[in-house]
Structure 1
Amino acid sequence: MNKRKLSLLALSISLVTGQSLAAGFQLNSQSATGIGRAFSGDAVIADNASVLSRNPAAMAMFDRKALSLGLTYAEVDVTIKDVSYGPIDYGSEPDAADNKVIPNIYYIHPINDAFAVGVAAFSNFGTGTDISSLNNSGKPITPVDLFGKTEIVTSNLNLSLSYRINQQFSIGAGLDLIYGEGTLKRNGQITDNPLSETTLVDVEADGWALGGIVGATYEINDKNRLGISYRMSPTFKADGKVEYQGQAYDEIHIPLPNIFQVAGYHELSPKWAVHYTAQHTSWGDFEHITVTGSAPDATVKSYQWQNSWLFSVGGTYQINDTWTARAGYMHDKGVVDEISSLSIPDSDRNWYTAGASYHLNKNATIDFGLAFVRGEDVEVREMSGIPGIGEVVGHTRSDAIYYSMQYSHLF
């Protein structure tokens, strides 16, 4: 890997390395305040600069410069067990994913009463599992095309602009410069004959892509407001080491979904507020991972997922001038349709979250967020392309605990 690749890799690691604990391989870890309220209302609450990750139009609600710096630690528990083909038992992998540290940064700069600009660095997508240990089972035949390492990580660098049309209505748009890195490895001994050792997929690639986001906010009055946004994601293309079935390719193509969301915030009293979000993600666009180049184009993996919704609701309570408490619940629908995968486990998930803000003074706040993410036990049936093997059956579950802290400052 040349120096340019090494520098890009270092940038990616410094921004985010993540294991998905939302539908598909979508991440929900953009802020401590968001985690504490299950991201309910996050596209319109605008209590700190992290609103940039959800809706650029909400920058219009800031009359002062705002900075937010956050860090999330994800304690991930992905279990893949009782994997078998017919009478052959390949065993289990009780620890298929690593714990992760996920940072973020946001800055909003009002230009005048009408315009504001913002910059941000965060992530929307990431997944990482390693079940290559199942290849070392000493069985007469092994589906090495299903057992291996899978990691997809994106880092989103965002530049946004908002415009206040009038006292109630604001719009915004942003450009996403997305850096991504993908690792896919499928290799092992197909049969108990040592000569059957083979490498089917060996990918270590990275690259850049462009996406964007548009949004709007409607402030009904100073106690009630609504927000809407639509994030357009590209088909990500990465180059580097791209080998599939003994052929060298130039690029690997990974389609990313678009994200649409609506959110609301309602202050019921000086102490209480409620908020909510409905979000649609076009995971139906994630059909195939393909490779292109000097050899004929090929499909490495087909998923054919379905579009998904998540719904969240939460509340905020102003305890006193120093402390604010929040809590939330989210139901996140899984994306798997007819084709499931051992390498990217998925199911419906429930989020139970709580958080608090400690106001150091009128300009500085420390935020805390805690989320318990609970998936479901899912039976996975996946077809192997290895001759002599058909449908492989396994059982998966993905749980996590998120611990998040954030510092926000108004200038």
Structure 2
Amino acid sequence: MKKTLLALLICSSYANASGLLLQEAVTANAGTAGAGDGVYTETATANWTNPATMSHMGEQKTTINTMALYLQMDYTDYGTDENLLRTPEGNASAETIMPSIGVFHVRQLNEKLHLGLNFGAVGGSSIEYGSDWDGANHLDKAFMSALQLNPSLSYQIDQNWSVGLGAQINYGMIEVSTTGFESDMGTDWAYGFNAGAMYQAERWALGLSYRSKLVHEFDDITATLTNEFEQINGTQATVGTKLIVPAIVDLSGNYDLTEQLTILSSVQFHQWSEFSETPVYNDALNLSGIYPAIDRDWDDVWKFAIGADYQLNSDWALKAGFSYETSPQDDPTKQWVDLPVGEQYRYSLGASTYWGTTRIDIFYEYADFGTMEIERTGEPYTQINGEFEGSIHFVGANFTF
């Protein structure tokens, strides 16, 4: 029963490896899997990744990103006995359809300064496994959303060089339930900054940017026990936990190979080693010394993306991209039901055209999370031995005017 409090560590897009940071919701060049976002200047969204890009966007630019995702997560139970591997008992499946929208605006203040105002979802998930799988006493269903306001300024040093600085104002929400536990909605504000620099040459560009770590302290959530034992059923407690959005370093570049073809690339560093553990606090059920935290022991993550933008004719441009992310944790004994993690592969296609003066970018992206094994059988209330397999389909349309 006490272990159910650990379900506060929900399957959130903060921390199911870097991919579920939902960078697709703030992609500047839709259809290239994020490649070159830190130097792209055709949409206002680029100033989210690198605020220095604003100096190369002209007098004014507004972009609205719209997107929907379909998440599929499947759990296959191996059983706790070697002779019972891959039996169907204890399996689970979860599906989620979720929309997202972001608004990004850039305006030139004077010859040297540009102002950016951005609002978007940096994370979000709604997932339900049900109550008939092996991990139901740890996670049944969960909801999480993280919204961010990101004002920024850029300064044009000369014709080639620009720098930028912004503020991150983050609002997070979580709600979770298990077979023996339900929480009210928990909310928290978190604050940070972002900065960047960009060099724009005639045929190529290079940008370097940084987003600081954000820490959400959810410390005042009302939880109700829904256990079958009458003596504790309905018992309430104030619980809390801590969730981290990692610091991100982005190095992006592009090169005009021909007048029609541009090659784009990005390398990102996500500092997930800060997510070494997740504490759990409560004021009624004493967990101190019993289950003080979930041991994550995550490694930092590297993301590599490459893409191409081809101007097919005067009306249409075609795009394609691919990215690969390293895994923060490959040890099955340190995986957990809320955040199964592994290597991630993304494949993306897109197209751009104009309707009058409005630029329209459409894209499709497939994210493959692969297979993530979990072996947690040596703890009280925990007999989980199996594997997760996950993927996300993204479809979106962005409008710039």
Q: TM-score surpassing 0.5?
A: yes
* Equivalent position of 1:359 in the other structure: 354
* 2:185 aligned residue: 204
SS at match of 1:375: strand
Mapping of residues 119-268 of structure 1, within 5 Å: 119-134=117-132, 144-188=136-180, 199=181, 202=183, 204-219=185-200, 221-243=201-223, 248-249=237-238, 251-268=240-257
Q: 1:101 is matched with which residue?
A: 99
Counterpart of 2:339 in structure 1 is: 344
- Residue 335 of structure 1 corresponds to 328
The residue number in structure 2 matching 1:304 is: 297
1-structure distance, mates of 2:126, 2:49: 24
Which deviates the most, 280-289 or 106-115? 280-289
Following superposition of structure 1 onto structure 2, how do residues 316-327 of structure 1 map, counting pairs within 5 Å? 316-327=309-320
The counterpart of 2:259, out of the listed 251, 270, 283, is: 270
Q: 1:34 corresponds to which letter in structure 2?
A: N
Aligned residue for 2:230? none
Q: 1:184 to 1:386 in 2, by over 3 A?
A: farther
Q: Is the 8 A contact 2:131 2:178 kept in 1?
A: no
* Partners of 2:26 and 2:120 within 8 A in 1: no
For residues 204 and 187 of structure 1, do their structure 2 counterparts lie closer, same or farther at Cα, with a shift above 3 Å needed? farther
Secondary structure at the aligned position of 1:353 is classed as: strand
Letter in 1 for 2:179: N
| Aligned with residue 380 of structure 2, among 386, 402, 406 | 386
* CA RMSD after TM alignment: 2.7
CA deviation after TM superposition for structure 1 residue 324, in Å: 1.1
Tell me, what secondary structure is at the counterpart of 1:29?
helix
State TM-score, norm by structure 2.
0.84
Give the distance between the partners of 2:80 and 2:19, measured in 1 at CA. Answer: 25
Q: SS where residue 123 of structure 1 aligns?
A: strand
Question: Is the contact made by 1:131 and 1:149 (CA closer than 8 Å) also made in structure 2?
Answer: yes
When residues 132 and 35 of structure 1 are mapped into structure 2, their CA distance, relative to the original with a 3 A threshold, is: same
Query: Closer, same or farther in 2 for the Cα pair 1:383/1:58, shift >3 Å?
Result: farther
Aligned with 2:131: secondary structure?
helix
Q: Deviations for 1:62-88, whole angstroms, at most 9, x for unmatched residues? A: 222100011111122111122533369
Letter in 2 for 1:29: E
Unaligned runs of 5+ in 1: 1-16, 136-141, 189-198
Deviation of 1:123 after TM superposition, in Å, equals: 2.3
Change (3 A) 1:24 1:319: closer
Alignment-mate amino acid for residue 107 of structure 2: H
Kindly indicate whether the alpha-carbon contact (under 8 Å) linking 1:49 and 1:108 is maintained by their aligned counterparts in 2.
Answer: yes
In the alignment, which of 364, 369, 387 is matched to residue 370 of structure 1? 364
AA of the residue aligned to 2:177: K
* Whole-angstrom CA distance in 2 between matches of 1:89 and 1:228: 49
Query: Equivalents in 2 of 1:326, 1:315: separation in Å?
Result: 6
Q: Kindly, what percent of the aligned residue pairs are identical?
A: 21
Alignment partner, residue 90 of structure 2? 91
Mapped to 2, the partners of 1:222 and 1:355 lie a distance apart of 25
CA 20–288 in structure 1, closer or farther in 2 if over 3 Å, else same: closer
1:384 CA displacement = 6.4
Aligned residues: 371
How far apart, in 1, do the equivalents of 2:64 and 2:283 lie? Answer: 44
Could you tell me whether the CA contact under 8 Å between 1:249 and 1:293 is conserved in 2? yes
What letter corresponds to residue 306 of structure 1 in structure 2?
D
Partner Cα distance (1:235, 1:143) in 2: 27
Distance 2:397 2:41 in 1: 17
2:42 equivalent to 1:47: yes
Contact kept in structure 2, 1:19 and 1:98, CA below 8 Å: no
2:29 is paired with a residue of what secondary structure? Answer: helix
Moved more, 167-176 or 370-379: 370-379
Q: Is the 8 A contact 1:48 1:68 kept in 2?
A: yes
Give the partner amino acid of 2:322: Y
- The one-letter amino acid of 1:252's match is T
The Cα offsets for residues 23-72 of structure 1, whole Å up to 9 and x where unpaired, read as 36421213565340111000111111010221111111122210001111
CA distance in 2, matches of 1:306, 1:101: 30
Between the aligned partners of 2:320 and 2:15, the Cα distance in structure 1 is: 22
Equivalent residue of 1:376, what SS? strand
Q: Please tell me whether the aligned partners of residues 249 and 291 of structure 1 are also in contact (alpha carbons under 8 angstroms).
A: no
In 2, are the aligned partners of 1:158 and 1:175 still within 8 Å (CA)? yes
Question: TM-score normalized by structure 1?
Answer: 0.82
TM-fit CA distance, 1:255: 2.1
Amino acid at match of 2:152: S
Q: What 5-or-longer segments of structure 2 have no aligned partner?
A: 1-11, 226-234
Pair 1:70 & 2:50 matched: no
Please state how far the C-alpha of 1:247 moved relative to its aligned partner.
Answer: 6.9
